[in-house]
């Protein structure tokens, strides 16, 4: 990708960040080099360091960008019943994964398993990502509890974190099996067993 000299710096940073997200998601933190991120953005390697202090800093920013693409807006769309929103949210994530041939998994889970033990900054960003996500699910579950569409007594926060964790593991099974079976099981167990 060639660019003229008149492109503002903010745009170059966005290009680098989009490339970083793509390469981190495809190859993992340890499999990613700064040269590859720069190449994918059509930028010289030195340009990376004009925008990020380190690969770790780019990973934290890439994770935030990834989170912003998780369609949490579906969970807050009050024109739909809360359980429909939760289902559509996970269907969106499933469809995305199926399109990618069951590869890549979730960047939050990948960074948790691959690098959180060795980077406090990335561990904190993973934790923040999980919290933002589970809180959005918990808010919809709290509505479902009020309108009586889930079984009585379910704790929205615990249930949301459990479902989110089950989802992360579901991606692991789907990735290992290159198969939809894990998703089918998730939807049956989550909506017909956990929530009913």
| 70 is a site residue for its own copies (CB under 8 A) | no
Helix 55-68 to helix 120-146 angle (10° resolution) is 10
Q: Which of these segments, 27-35, 53-61, 78-86, 140-148, binds its own copies (CB under 8 A)?
A: 27-35
Q: How far is the CB of 6 from its own copies (least distance, A)?
A: 39
Site for its own copies in 88-127 (CB under 8 A): 103-105, 108-110, 112-118, 123, 126-127
Site for its own copies in 129-168 (CB under 8 A): 130, 154, 158-159, 161-162, 164-168
CA distance 27 to 24: 5
Site for its own copies (CB under 8 A): which residue of 9, 30, 45, 146? 30
| 170 is a site residue for its own copies (CB under 8 A) | yes
Where are the alpha helices (H) located in the chain, listed in sequence order? 9-27, 34-40, 45-51, 55-68, 72-75, 82-99, 107-114, 120-146, 156-177, 181-188
Where are the alpha helices (H) located in 28-119, listed in sequence order? 34-40, 45-51, 55-68, 72-75, 82-99, 107-114
Q: How far is the CB of 121 from its own copies (least distance, A)?
A: 12
């Amino acid at each position: 990708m060639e660019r003229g000299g008149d492109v503002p710096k903010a745009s170059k940073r966005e290009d680098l960040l989009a490339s970083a997200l793509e390469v981190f998601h495809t190859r993992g933190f340890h499999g990613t080099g700064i040269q590859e991120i720069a190449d994918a953005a059509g930028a010289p390697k030195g340009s990376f360091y004009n925008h990020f202090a380190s690969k770790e800093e780019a990973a934290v920013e890439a994770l935030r960008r990834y989170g912003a693409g998780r369609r949490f807006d579906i969970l807050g769309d009050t024109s739909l019943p809360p359980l429909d929103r939760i289902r559509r949210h996970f269907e969106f994530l499933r469809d995305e994964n199926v399109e990618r041939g069951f590869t890549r998994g979730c960047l939050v889970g990948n960074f948790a398993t691959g690098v959180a033990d060795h980077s406090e900054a990335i561990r904190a960003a993973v934790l923040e990502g999980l919290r933002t996500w589970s809180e959005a699910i918990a808010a919809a579950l709290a509505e479902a509890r009020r309108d009586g569409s889930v079984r009585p007594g379910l704790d929205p926060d615990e249930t949301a974190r459990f479902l989110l964790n089950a989802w992360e593991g579901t991606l692991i099974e789907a990735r290992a099996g290159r198969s939809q079976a894990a998703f089918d099981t998730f939807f049956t167990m989550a909506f017909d067993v956990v929530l009913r």
